[in-house]
Structure 1
Amino acid sequence: MIMRRTVVAAAAAAALIGAGGAASAAPAKKPRPPRPTEVRPALPDGQSNPSIANGVAVGALVATYTASGLGPRDANPAAPAGSPERYVDFPGGTRPPGVTLTEAQSINALKAINENLGAQGLTARDVISMRAYLSDPPGAATADFAGWNRAYRQFYANTDLSTGKPVNVPLGTAPPAAPMLVNPARPARVTLEIENLPVAGWLVEVEVVAAFRQR
């Protein structure tokens, strides 16, 4: 795989006004290390529904599971082998209005990840880190990051942090509706655009790390 772009998130520093009226840098609050069995996401400040964590701290006694990269499953036998449409698992291979090929394949791939996790006694709520690889759809100059992000929100980061309630998310161009899986988990995540993927027709491949939390 040839990496072409990397999306990186950065945090901004805060400033306080000193008692004498002069601007001064806020003293950095040093976070404590995670407790031995703790899994603690570092979430962006001031956001009730961030899509990803700035990072995730994991205690020394927390066991983790690293899933191999998975792409969408062959789900549409009516489409030609090796075509992107082959990996659309909506009924009859028909995508809902506005759903892109990358979005459809991403939903398919994330379902496969869920099954992989389930075989280990884990769920999407246990995911602490995610890496996604996107390839350009046919005829497109760049990868479909927007389609990927819509699919991601169907399974991750779809609850309001202030209320705990689910947040409606879009599918294609349809009005936002209930997500396919309600999940408050916000993993640390990176998305890479690459030249190609190992299976003809794939537009997305996803790998995750999940934590065996204390139940």
Structure 2
Amino acid sequence: MRFILLPALASAALALAAPASAQVTRVQSNPQALILDGADVKAGTDLFYLSGQLASPIDPAKSFADVKSIEDLGDTKTQTISALKRIKAILESRDYAMSDVIKLTLFVAADPKLGKMDFAGANEGFKQFFKTAENPNTVARSTFQVAALAGPYFLIEIEAIAAKKR
């Protein structure tokens, strides 16, 4: 018994046998926008989900237990930069980079000095890590004002999702 493999079937068989190529497509309708509309992550892509990260005390000699005021952590911009530095360090320890981040969720508490969340401060901190010379990428992002975070002096918590080709 003889079988003839048609070219279309041969191509399909090769496609099934080949490993899926990883691909992340960043969707941005306005290139000037600070954030993406979304990110399309194809099968075969490695994903890394980071838990929410809080700011570290400004004084590296202090622990979280030593934090007694907002001044120990800084304003929203300062805390955003600190939390993103923590995210960057975690990513690098897993062979990811900030350019691999595709989604951030920001939880922002009201700054007592302003009486509301400091959205502008969070954006100023964000701009130091995204759409820069070092990292021209940006991310899909959601921002929520929350009643409080894990401690009374924390103004922002950031969680992240990173994706990269295998």
Q: TM-score, normalised by structure 1?
A: 0.62
Contact 2:54–2:158, Cα closer than 8 Å, also in 1: yes
Asked if 1 retains the 8 angstrom alpha-carbon contact of 2:44 and 2:165, the reply is no
Instruction: Tell me which amino acid in the other structure corresponds to 1:113.
Output: I
Counterpart selection for 1:42 from 27, 37, 44: 27
Contact map agreement 1:38 1:58 (CA 8 A) in 2: yes
Which aligned runs of 4 or more in structure 1 are off by greater than 3 angstroms?
none
**Aligned amino acid, residue 121 of structure 1:** D
Alpha-carbon distance between aligned partners in 1 of 2:126 and 2:105, rounded to the nearest angstrom = 12
- Aligned to 2:124, the other structure's residue is in SS state helix
Pick aligned residue for 1:199 from 127, 148, 151: 151
Residue 53 (structure 1) aligns with = 36
What's the secondary structure of 1:149's corresponding residue? helix
2:55 to 72, 82, 87: 72
Aligned amino acid, residue 202 of structure 1: F
**Partners of 1:194 and 1:156 in 2: how far apart?**
24
1:143 maps onto 2:117 in alignment: yes
* Richer in strand (by share): 2
**Cα distance in structure 2, aligned partners of 1:147 and 1:42:** 25
Matched residue type, 2:37: N
TM-aligned CA deviation for residue 204 of structure 1: 0.5
Indicate the RMSD between aligned Cα atoms, in angstroms: 1.6
Aligned length: 142
Q: Which runs of 5+ in 1 are unaligned?
A: 1-34, 89-100, 159-165, 167-181
Partner of 1:189: 141
CA contact (8 A) 1:50 1:157 kept: no
Calculate the TM-score normalised by the size of structure 2: 0.79
Q: CA deviation at 1:63?
A: 1.5
Displacement of 1:183 in angstroms is 0.9
* Unaligned segments of structure 2, at least 5 residues: 1-19
3-state SS of the aligned residue for 1:134?
strand
State, as a whole percentage, how many aligned pairs show the same letter. Answer: 27
Q: Aligned letter for 1:42?
A: V
Paired letter, 1:68: S
> Per the alignment, in what secondary structure is the counterpart of residue 43 of structure 2?
coil
CA apart distance, 1:87: 1.6
Asked whether the 8 Å contact 1:82–1:199 carries over to 2, the reply is no
CA contact (8 A) 1:38 1:62 kept: yes
| SS in structure 2 of the partner of residue 110 of structure 1 | helix
Higher gyration radius (CA): 2
